[in-house]
Amino acid sequence: MRMPYRLSTLFLRTLREDPADAEVDSHKLLVRAGYIRRAGPGIWSWLPLGLMVKNKIEKIVREEMAAAGSQEVHFPGLLPKEPYEATGRWEEYGDNIFRLKDRKDADYLLAPTHEEVFTLLVKDLYTSYKDLPLSIYQIQLKYRDEARPRAGLLRGREFIMKDAYSFDISDEGLEVSYQAQRDAYERIFKRLGLDYVIVKADAGAMGGSKSEEFLCPAPIGEDTFVRSSGGFAANVEAIRFEVAEEVDASKTPAAEIHESPKTPTIATLVDFSNQNHPRQGGEWTAADTLKNVVLALVSPEGKRSLAIVGIPGDREVDQKRAEAWFSPNDVEQATEEDFSKHPQLVKGYIGPTKSGSQFLGEKAASKIPYFVDPRVAKGSSWITGANEDEKHVWHLTYGRDFSSDGIADIAEVVAGDPAPDGSGPLELARGIEIGHVFQLGRKYAEALDLRVLDENGKLVTVTMGSYGIGVTRLVAVIAEQSHDEKGLIWPEAVAPAQIHIIAAGKEESVFEAAEALAGEAEEMGFDVMLDDRKASPGVKFADAELLGMPWVIVCGRGLEAGEVELWDRASGERLTVKLESALAEITSRRK
Amino acid sequence: MRMPYRLSTLFLRTLREDPADAEVDSHKLLVRAGYIRRAGPGIWSWLPLGLMVKNKIEKIVREEMAAAGSQEVHFPGLLPKEPYEATGRWEEYGDNIFRLKDRKDADYLLAPTHEEVFTLLVKDLYTSYKDLPLSIYQIQLKYRDEARPRAGLLRGREFIMKDAYSFDISDEGLEVSYQAQRDAYERIFKRLGLDYVIVKADAGAMGGSKSEEFLCPAPIGEDTFVRSSGGFAANVEAIRFEVAEEVDASKTPAAEIHESPKTPTIATLVDFSNQNHPRQGGEWTAADTLKNVVLALVSPEGKRSLAIVGIPGDREVDQKRAEAWFSPNDVEQATEEDFSKHPQLVKGYIGPTKSGSQFLGEKAASKIPYFVDPRVAKGSSWITGANEDEKHVWHLTYGRDFSSDGIADIAEVVAGDPAPDGSGPLELARGIEIGHVFQLGRKYAEALDLRVLDENGKLVTVTMGSYGIGVTRLVAVIAEQSHDEKGLIWPEAVAPAQIHIIAAGKEESVFEAAEALAGEAEEMGFDVMLDDRKASPGVKFADAELLGMPWVIVCGRGLEAGEVELWDRASGERLTVKLESALAEITSRRK
C-alpha cells in the first residue's frame, strides 16, 4: 500500500539558513531541506527524506549488480585485526582508520574496506576452479578517520559503499568480470542521471594492473583529471608521458662550469644566464634549466632514504603523482636533517655532475638514486647545478655528459600538454570520484593464500577485481549536479516522491482536491508528497522548491475554474492545466 | 525481473559437520546450511541466503512500522561520547560497550542503543506540541562487548535491531503510542509465524513505568519467565509478590535464645531444632527459618555498601531479581573483606536482633539496612540467628520482636508459587527475548532537556517510549523454532525461496523440465531455488532438507510418467503429483 508523505506529519523541519560550517551546495541544501543532520565531525544522521533517496539509489545499485551476476553478502563493520595484519594494511593505514580494543584487549578495527574478509570468505568456502568465476558484493558502512572530514556527505568518516569483488582463475576471466562491473556502473550512473567521465586511474598503489575511476566533473571535486578532445581521460596520478625522442647533440657546445653568484632559484639563474652567457638565437627560459629536486622516500616499514629527480625548471613536482610513482613509499620533501646527513649536497646548486664526472646516481659518487623527467631527452642539454656553491654548468647534455637511474614521471601536468596517446592537447578539470573499477590481481589472494585446484588438480592463485561505488556520496553528488539557488532538484529515479502536491489556500475544498489528486497519483504508481499543512502558500512554495521533487502541482484559487498549476522543477516551467489532466500532463512529459 | 537462485552458481557451500563451538541448533544449522559465517567472536558475515531471510524480516518490520505511523530514520553506528555522558550511560555501561578514540583523541563509542541521539534529534528539530506525537525508528547495527558472545546470532557483539521511539507531551499520549507499537509487534511476530508470549518486564532499571517483553519460549532461552493458567505472565525480574497478610501472633511463645552448636546452615539448624526444640504439632522445616543474606550493593559511581535481606530458609536469592530490585546498583555477594569491615556480623548466625534488641537496620546497632521478603508477614515467627556464635533465636516474631527497613522481593520464584494476581499457580519457563516495548517516560528528555511549548506557551518535558526488536536474532529464533534433525524449515514469509526445485537425474530432459517448472513458478510470483548442479540426487535431497525451503519439487524418474514428487518440508509429507499440477497443489496447500 502506498501512502502519501504528508508534510503535516513528516518528520521534517526545513531551515532558511545555511549551516555555518557548510562550504558546498549539496551540504547546505541537504541540511537545509531536512535530508540529513550532522551527528559529529564527518558523521551523519539520515532523516526520512534523505533515507528515501539513499534507498532508491541502493535499489538501483542492487538491480544492476544482480543483472551483472553479482550476489549480495554482508560483512561486519567491526573486524578483528588479524586479516589486516596479514596483508600489512593494519600498519599501512596509519592514522586513517579507527582502531579499538575489546574487553579482552584484542585488537579490532572499523573496516575502511573489506578486501581481506571477502578474500578469506571465498577461501573458506571454495576450493575448485569449478566454483569460479564468482562475483559478490555488499552495501555496507565504511569508516575512515579522515584528517579533515568536510563537504557534508562528500568526505565523511562513516559512509556507505557498495563494494564488489570478482574471483577468477585466469587473467582473461578477470578481464570479463571487470568489464561486466564496468558496464553495470555505466548503467547505474546513467539511471541516476549523472554526468560522469571514466578516467584511467593509477593502479600502482594497490598492486594491481588495470584501474579506472568514474568521476563527476565539479569545481569542488578533490580529484584532478585531464582529458583531450580526442577522448583521452586520466587521473593525474595515472597519466604517463612518453620519453622524449632523442635529439641531435652533435652541435651542442661542450659543458662549461661557471661562477653564478646569487642564483639559488630558477628565476635568478635564468636572468644570470641571459646576462652573462647569452644563448645563440634566443633567450634562455626556465625550460632550459634542469631543477634537481631532493625527495625523501619513506617505505611502509618506515625506512627513509633520499632520491633526486631532475625536471625542467618550468615545472613543479606534483605531490600526488610523485606518491603514485614511488608507491608504496610515502614521498616527503627533504628536510634540513636529511641534508645534514648528505653534506656533499649543496642546496640550490645540486646537479647530476661534479667537476665533469657523474655525481648523482646510485652508483655515482653521491650514491643517491637519480631520476629524470621523461622530457629530458637523450641529447638534450641543460643549465643545471655544479654541486659547488654558487656554480652552475651550461650545455650539460643528457647521454653525453650525464646519465640517470631511470625515469620519474612526477612533474605537474599543465593545460596544453599533449595527451600521451596523441589525441590532442590536455585540459585539466576537477571531479568527484563516484566509482572505481580495479583489477586487483593476485595481491590479496597471495597474501591470504586464496588458491583453488585447476582442471589439472594443481593449486593456482585466484585473481581478483575490486569495484566500489560511494553510495552515500552519490546522494551528495546528485544534489551537487542538480540544484539551483532555490533548492534541490531530484531526478525522478531517486526523488523521495515524483510529485509534490500543494494545498494552497485555507478552504476545505482546496485540501479535499489536493487529497483526491494525491490518491489518484498514487493509484497511477507515483510516490507522492502532499503539503497538507496549515501554512501560508508562500511557505509551502518555498519548501517545495527547497525539497526538490521533480513535479509540483499547486491546488489553489484556480480550482474554481477547475485548474491547477503544474511546475517542472528542473526547467522552471510553470503552466496552468486542467485539474483532471494534470497527471496525464506529467506522464507525457516524463523522460 | 525475478530470477531463480541457481545452486550451480549460488555462493554457497553446505557443511556436513556442525561447527565445533556451536551449542544451539540455530547456530549449527545456519552455519551448516551456509546462511551465516563466523567473522570473529560474536561477529557474523551474512551469506546470500542468510541475507535474504534477514531482508524479508526487515521488510515485514518496515511494513508494520509504517502501518503504525512510525517513520524511518537512520543514525550513525559511531557516535561521540558527549550525549552518553549527559545521561550517565558512558560510565554505566562499563565494559559492555566498545569505546574508541579518533586521531584527535576525542572519545567515541559504537552505539549499543540510540536513546540519546533520537532524543537530541527531536530536540534539534521540534519545538511545539503541534509537532507531536511523533514516532520514528531505525533498523541499524548495534554493538555490545558481551563478556560471553554465544549461541550464534542469539547473543552477538554486532547485531541489527529495529529501535523505535515515541514522543508525546502527555502520559495519555504515550499510552496510545505504546499500544500502537505493541499492536505492530503482535502483527510482526504473527506474520513471522512465531510462537511467543508477552510478559510483564521490569521497568525499574531504565527509569520508566510500563514495560513488556515478547519472549519465544525455548529451553535454550536466557530469560526465565513465569506464567499462570489464568493468563499472568512476567519476567522473573518483573514479578512482584504481595506482602503476606498479618497473622495472629497472640499465641506465639516469647522469643527464646538458645545455644545451637554446629548449625551454620539451614539444614543443620532445622535438624537441631527438631531434636532440641520440637515444634508444637509438627516438624520444623526450612520454611520456618529466616535466612539473612548479606549483599554488597555497588552504586553506578562505584560506592560499595552492605544490605541484609531476610528470606525464608527454603528459598535462595535470585541474582537477576536482586539486581532489578536494587537497580541501578550492582548486586554482589559480600566478600570476606566486606565482613572484615563489619566484625559485629557473625557469619552463619546473623539475625535481626541481638540480646532482645533490634540489631539489623539503618537505624539499629549495626547501621546496615535490613529488608525482608514479602512472605515475612506481620506476626509471623521465625528461627533465625542471634548474632552470637553458635546461637539462634526461636519464635522471633515480625512486628513484635523485630522490624525492617522495608521489603526486598528478591527470592527465587518457585514453580507452584501463586501468581500475584490470583490467577493460579505459576509455572516457570525459559524464553528468548525478541521484542521489548517500554514506557521510558521522561528520563532521557529530562537528562537532555527535550522540552516543547504546550498549548499555553509553557515549556513541558516530552515523554518517550522505546520499542525494540532484535532483527538478526529473529533469524536465529525462527530457525530455533522451526527445524528438525535434517535441517531448517523456513516459514514461507521469510524463506529465501518458497519453492526448491531439484533436477534429480543426469538426463538433459530432467534439467529442461526443472528449468521450465522454475520459470513457471516465478511467473506465478514464487521465489524459486533451482538445484541445477551436476551432483547426485542424494546430495541434492540432503541439501534441500538442510536449506529448508518450505516446498520441494523433485523432477526425476517420474517425469516419464509426467509426474514429480512434492515435499512439504514442515509436515514431512511427500506425494506424487502430475508435473502440470504441482504448482497448483502448492497454491492450494499454502497457509
CATH of the domain at B360: 3.90.960.10
On the question of pLDDT at B263 being above 90, the answer is no
CATH number at A506 reads 3.40.50.800
- What digits encode the pLDDT tens for the residues A60-103? 999 999 999 999 999 999 999 998 888 888 888 888 899 999 99
- What digits encode the pLDDT tens for the residues B296-312? 999 878 899 999 999 99
Mean pLDDT, chain B, integer: 93
Q: B147: nearest CA in chain A?
A: A103
What's the confidence (pLDDT) of residue B88? 84
Mean pLDDT, chain A, integer: 93
**What is the mean pLDDT of the segment spanning A174-203?**
94
What's the gap between Cα A26 and its chain centre?
A: 17
Structure letter (DSSP) for residue A398: B
C-alpha cell at B461: 518535558
Q: Label residue B453 exposed, middle or buried (CB < 10 Å: 0-12, 13-18, 19+).
A: middle
Q: Is residue A291 a part of any domain in this protein?
A: yes
Residue A128 gets the label, from left (phi > 0), alpha (psi -120 to 50) or beta, of beta
Q: Label residue A123 exposed, middle or buried (CB < 10 Å: 0-12, 13-18, 19+).
A: middle
First-residue to last-residue Cα distance in chain B: 25
Do A392 and A265 belong together in one domain?
Answer: yes
- What digits encode the pLDDT tens for the residues B97-117? 999 999 999 999 999 999 999
Proportion of chain B in helix, strand, coil states, percent, rounded to 5: 30, 30, 40
Chain B contact set for A37 (CB, 8 A): 121, 124-125
Looking at the complex, report in whole angstroms how far the Cα of residue B527 sits from the nearest Cα belonging to chain A: 15
Q: A40 and B143: CB-CB below 8 Å?
A: no
Q: Is residue A410 a part of any domain in this protein?
A: no
Residues in chain A: 591
On the question of pLDDT at A205 being above 50, the answer is no
What's the confidence (pLDDT) of residue B205? 46
Do B469 and B352 belong together in one domain?
Answer: no
On the question of pLDDT at A33 being above 90, the answer is yes
* Torsional sign, CA B233, B235, B236, B241: negative
Distance CA B281, CA B276 (A): 15
On the question of pLDDT at A500 being above 70, the answer is yes
Looking at the complex, report in whole angstroms how far the Cα of residue A99 sits from the nearest Cα belonging to chain B: 7
Do A199 and A336 belong together in one domain?
Answer: no
Q: A158 and B77: CB-CB below 8 Å?
A: yes
What's the confidence (pLDDT) of residue A301? 79
Please tell me if residue A79 touches chain B, with a CB cutoff of 8 Å. yes
Residue with cell 538491480: A63
Q: A39 and B79: CB-CB below 8 Å?
A: yes
Do A295 and A386 belong together in one domain?
Answer: yes
Structure letter (DSSP) for residue B384: E
CATH number at A156 reads 3.30.930.10
Q: A45 and B75: CB-CB below 8 Å?
A: yes
Residues sharing a CB contact under 8 Å with residue A59, sequence separation 6 or more, in sequence order: none
Query: Which one-letter amino acid corresponds to residue A467?
Result: Y
What is the maximal distance between C-alpha atoms in chain A? 97
Q: B78 and A47: CB-CB below 8 Å?
A: no
Please tell me if residue B99 touches chain A, with a CB cutoff of 8 Å. yes
The ipTM estimated for the assembled molecules is: 0.88
pTM for the predicted model, two decimal places = 0.88
Please tell me if residue A85 touches chain B, with a CB cutoff of 8 Å. no
Looking at the complex, report in whole angstroms how far the Cα of residue B553 sits from the nearest Cα belonging to chain A: 24
In angstroms, the Cα distances linking B240 to B55, B105, B406, B493 are 39, 47, 14, 38
Please tell me if residue B13 touches chain A, with a CB cutoff of 8 Å. yes
What's the confidence (pLDDT) of residue A206? 45
**What is the mean pLDDT of the segment spanning A517-526?**
95
On the question of pLDDT at A326 being above 60, the answer is yes
Mutate to test the interface with A, among B7, B36, B71, B122 (most CBs of A within 10 A): B71
Q: B34: nearest CA in chain A?
A: A125
**What is the mean pLDDT of the segment spanning B125-151?**
93
Query: Which one-letter amino acid corresponds to residue A26?
Result: S
Chain B contact set for A134 (CB, 8 A): 11
Q: A126 and B76: CB-CB below 8 Å?
A: no
Helices within B421-536 (DSSP H only): 443-447, 471-481, 508-523
Structure letter (DSSP) for residue B253: P
- What digits encode the pLDDT tens for the residues A451-477? 999 999 999 999 999 999 999 999 999
Q: Is residue A503 a part of any domain in this protein?
A: yes
**What is the mean pLDDT of the segment spanning B48-61?**
97
In angstroms, the Cα distances linking A173 to A90, A213, A439 are 30, 21, 11
Q: What is the DSSP string of A201-221?
A: ---TTTT-S-EEEEEEE-TT-
On the question of pLDDT at A573 being above 90, the answer is yes
Q: Is residue B59 a part of any domain in this protein?
A: yes
What's the confidence (pLDDT) of residue A311? 96
Residues sharing a CB contact under 8 Å with residue B479, sequence separation 6 or more, in sequence order: B25, B26, B29, B30, B488
Do B71 and B203 belong together in one domain?
Answer: yes
Q: A74 and B136: CB-CB below 8 Å?
A: no
On the question of pLDDT at A173 being above 80, the answer is yes
Do B380 and B509 belong together in one domain?
Answer: no
C-alpha cell at B394: 526461636
**Residue B340 DSSP SS3:** helix
In this structure, the strands spanning A499-503 and A551-555 are parallel
What's the confidence (pLDDT) of residue A85? 87
**A264 CB-side CA count, 13 A:** 5
Q: Is residue A414 a part of any domain in this protein?
A: no
Residue B12 near residue B34 (C-beta atoms within 8 A) = yes
Do B373 and B284 belong together in one domain?
Answer: yes
**What is the mean pLDDT of the segment spanning A290-294?**
95
Please tell me if residue B102 touches chain A, with a CB cutoff of 8 Å. yes
Least Cα distance to B549 among B586, B577, B513 occurs for B586
Looking at the DSSP bridge assignments, the partners of residue B331 are B297
Please tell me if residue A415 touches chain B, with a CB cutoff of 8 Å. no
Which residue did the predictor score with more confidence, A57 or A206? Answer: A57
Do A470 and A546 belong together in one domain?
Answer: no
- What digits encode the pLDDT tens for the residues B182-234? 999 999 999 999 999 999 887 654 445 789 999 999 999 988 899 999 989 99
Residue B217 structural domain:
50-75+112-239+428-480
pLDDT > 70 in chain B, percent: 98
What's the confidence (pLDDT) of residue B3? 67
Tell me how many domains chain B contains: 3
Chain B contact set for A158 (CB, 8 A): 76-78
Chain B contact set for A103 (CB, 8 A): 95, 145, 147
Angle between helices B582-589 and B508-523 in degrees, nearest 10: 40
Of A95, A117, A136, the CB nearest to B39: A117
What's the confidence (pLDDT) of residue B533? 95
Q: A77 and B121: CB-CB below 8 Å?
A: no
In angstroms, the Cα distances linking A15 to A12, A33, A267 are 10, 7, 53
Distance CA A460, CA A129 (A): 9
What's the confidence (pLDDT) of residue A503? 97
What's the confidence (pLDDT) of residue A94? 83
**What is the mean pLDDT of the segment spanning B359-378?**
95
Do B200 and B234 belong together in one domain?
Answer: yes
On the question of pLDDT at A204 being above 60, the answer is no
Of A37, A66, A73, the CB nearest to B47: A73
Chain B contact set for A40 (CB, 8 A): 76, 78-80, 108
Of B12, B44, B76, the CB nearest to A44: B76
Q: What is the DSSP string of A93-145?
A: TGGGSEEEE-TT--EEEE-S--HHHHHHHHHHH--BGGG-SEEEEEEEEEE--
Distance CA A396, CA B402 (A): 109
**What is the mean pLDDT of the segment spanning A157-184?**
96
Looking at the complex, report in whole angstroms how far the Cα of residue A44 sits from the nearest Cα belonging to chain B: 6
Please tell me if residue A372 touches chain B, with a CB cutoff of 8 Å. no
C-alpha cell at A486: 532555490
Virtual torsion, Cα B370, B375, B376, B380, nearest 10 deg: -170
Of A34, A100, A110, the CB nearest to B99: A100
Inter-chain Cβ pairs, chain A and chain B, closer than 8 A: 134
Do B69 and B191 belong together in one domain?
Answer: yes
A 462-481 residues with CB < 8 A to B: none
Residue A66 near residue A474 (C-beta atoms within 8 A) = no
Chain A contact set for B103 (CB, 8 A): 95, 145, 147
**What is the mean pLDDT of the segment spanning B518-529?**
95
C-alpha cell at A389: 656553491
Please tell me if residue A44 touches chain B, with a CB cutoff of 8 Å. yes
Structure letter (DSSP) for residue B455: T
Please tell me if residue B110 touches chain A, with a CB cutoff of 8 Å. yes
Q: B167: nearest CA in chain A?
A: A11
Residue with cell 533451482: B530
Q: Label residue A506 exposed, middle or buried (CB < 10 Å: 0-12, 13-18, 19+).
A: exposed
Residue with cell 544482480: A66
What's the confidence (pLDDT) of residue A208? 54
Is the link from the previous residue into A133 a cis peptide, with omega within 30 of 0?
Answer: yes
**Residue B116 DSSP SS3:** helix
Of A37, A73, A125, the CB nearest to B46: A73
Please tell me if residue B34 touches chain A, with a CB cutoff of 8 Å. yes
Q: Is residue A64 a part of any domain in this protein?
A: yes
- What digits encode the pLDDT tens for the residues B427-469? 999 999 999 999 999 989 999 999 999 999 999 999 999 999 9
**Residue B286 DSSP SS3:** helix
Distance CA A238, CA A214 (A): 14
Residue B45 near residue A76 (C-beta atoms within 8 A) = yes
Looking at the complex, report in whole angstroms how far the Cα of residue B327 sits from the nearest Cα belonging to chain A: 23
Do A226 and A346 belong together in one domain?
Answer: no
In angstroms, the Cα distances linking B226 to A565, B182, B412, B420, B436 are 63, 20, 11, 11, 17
Residue A49 near residue A7 (C-beta atoms within 8 A) = no
What's the confidence (pLDDT) of residue A2? 55
**What is the mean pLDDT of the segment spanning A497-517?**
95
Query: Which one-letter amino acid corresponds to residue A113?
Result: T
Q: Is residue A244 a part of any domain in this protein?
A: no
Q: A73 and B79: CB-CB below 8 Å?
A: no
B 119-158 residues with CB < 8 A to A: 121, 124-126, 134, 136, 141, 143, 145, 147, 157-158
A 48-77 residues with CB < 8 A to B: 48, 51, 66, 69, 71-77
On the question of pLDDT at A3 being above 80, the answer is no
Residues sharing a CB contact under 8 Å with residue B218, sequence separation 6 or more, in sequence order: B430, B431, B432, B477, B480, B481
Least Cα distance to B34 among A131, A453, A108, A177 occurs for A131
In the structure, what pLDDT confidence band is assigned to residue A147 with cuts at 50, 70 and 90? confident
What's the confidence (pLDDT) of residue B21? 85
C-alpha cell at B160: 541489527
Looking at the DSSP bridge assignments, the partners of residue B61 are none
C-alpha cell at A237: 596520478
Query: Which one-letter amino acid corresponds to residue A413?
Result: V
β strands within B222-333, DSSP E: 223-228, 233-235, 256-259, 290-298, 304-312, 330-333
Do B265 and B198 belong together in one domain?
Answer: no
Query: Which one-letter amino acid corresponds to residue A468?
Result: G
Least Cα distance to A72 among B413, B10, B460 occurs for B10
Distance CA A409, CA A237 (A): 10
Chain B contact set for A108 (CB, 8 A): 40, 98
Q: Is residue A490 a part of any domain in this protein?
A: no
Q: A48: nearest CA in chain B?
A: B73
**What is the mean pLDDT of the segment spanning A231-257?**
90
Query: Which one-letter amino acid corresponds to residue A258?
Result: H
Distance CA A556, CA A506 (A): 9
